[in-house]
Amino acid sequence: MEATVIDINGLRKSFGKKEVLRDVSLKIPSGCVFALLGENGAGKTTLMRMLMGYSRPDAGEMQVAGLSPQKDTFVLRRKVGYVSDMPALYEWMTVAEIAWFCSAFFKEDYSTNFAQWASQFELPQTTRIRHLSKGMRAKTALALVLAADPEVLLFDEPTSGLDPLVRRDFLRSMVDLAAQGKTVVISSHQVQEIERVADRVAILHQGKLVLAGGLEELKDSISLLQFSMRDPLTMPPEPIASLNPIHYTLQGRTTRLAVRDLRPDFIEQLRDDENISDVRVVRPSLEDLFVIATRVSQSPPWQKQEQRELQSSELQKIKVLS
């Protein structure tokens, strides 16, 4: 059984009348790359700041590496590394000077560790922070965090504004860290990039956790069925009319359905129908899962009220995976 490093139960947070987090519960195991996804304003940054003890919840409990962010704040910050999308660095210091400054807060091997990471990231040690490119600033912030050898790493939109090569190297280093047994949590809305590195994902939508689980498990749980109807105004054949899709869209003559437990013989029936063409079944990408979780589904024209209720229950089966 996987050990839980981050345990979140019933978290709520409001700013004024705006409810930013709504009853969020989540368990994150050790030694994985965990992606926290959501649109801008979904509550990702608020959650990350709470995990570091920078903000307090209105309700709920959290533990990170066995510590309470509210009660054990200073001890926790020695065990957990945090990098925001715009890390605050002393602009007038050189790279070497800011490493020397930070070394006073950590163990004796901090400076040695930093030198190793600085070499790996090819950081210009004598250059002042204000003269660094955004990519080099990001690498400097990462080296400063990694030098403390934290058990857990929290990154809030870490690749925002970086060029493609820097983003690729950054994300690759996250996989390497997870392979060393560290837990890496990355908050992002860059779905396609995150898919290449994440073991597990959670999706926030309007402050609510709507999807969570192992990425491959989530992809295996549903199928995307796509087909065209020569006469889109006619009723579809009985096999389609009996489906209770998790998600439905219609663009021109093309119908796209997200369904669970799609049988192979069902596909053959569609291909034999004269009114149906271009039948395709694909495994969903993380971007597809993101759309299913965050976009309101249209209602199929053939679907009755009781089927719509079943559609909602089918979606819940996907969302509770963890």
Q: Which regions of the chain carry the CATH code 3.40.50.300?
A: 4-218
Where residue 41 falls among pLDDT bands split at 50, 70, 90?
Answer: confident
pLDDT for 2 beyond 80: no
| Alpha helices for 29-163 (secondary structure H) | 44-51, 73-79, 95-103, 110-120, 134-146
**Average confidence (pLDDT) over 27-52:** 91
The two structure tokens encoding residue 133? 């490119």
Single-letter amino acid code for the residue at 110: Y
Angle at 55 between CA 49 and CA 57, to 5 degrees: 110
Residue 158 contacts residue 36 (beta carbons within 8 Å): no
pLDDT tens digits along 107-125: 888 999 999 989 888 899 9
Least confident of 179-188, 242-251, 302-311: 302-311
pTM assigned to the model: 0.84
Contact 59, 22 (CB under 8 A): no
The CA distance from 233 to 147, in Å, is 63
Name the residue among 270, 282, 280 with its Cα closest to residue 222: 282
Given a cut of 90, is residue 50 above it in pLDDT? yes
Phi, psi of 35, rounded to the nearest 5 degrees? -100, 125
SS3 per-residue string spanning the chain: CCCEEEEEEEEEEEECCEEEEEEEEEEEECCCEEEEEECCCCCHHHHHHHHCCCCCCCEEEEEECCECCCCCHHHHHHHEEEECCCCCCCCCCEHHHHHHHHHCCCCCCHHHHHHHHHHHCCCCCCCEHHHCCHHHHHHHHHHHHHCCCCCEEEEECCCCCCCHHHHHHHHHHHHHHHHCCCEEEEEECCHHHHHCCCCEEEEEECCEEEEEEEHHHHHHHCEEEEEEECCCCCCCCHHHHCCCCCEEEEECCEEEEEECCCCHHHHHHHHHCCCEEEEEEECCCHHHHHHHHHCCCCCCCCCCHHHHHHHHHHHHHHHCCC
pLDDT band at 322 (very low <50, low <70, confident <90, very high): very low
Tokens 């009723």 sit on residue? 235
User: Cα(178)–Cα(76) distance, rounded to whole angstroms?
Assistant: 19
Superfamily of domain 4-218: P-loop containing nucleotide triphosphate hydrolases (3.40.50.300)
Q: What percent of the chain has pLDDT over 70?
A: 86
**At residue 311, does pLDDT exceed 60?**
no
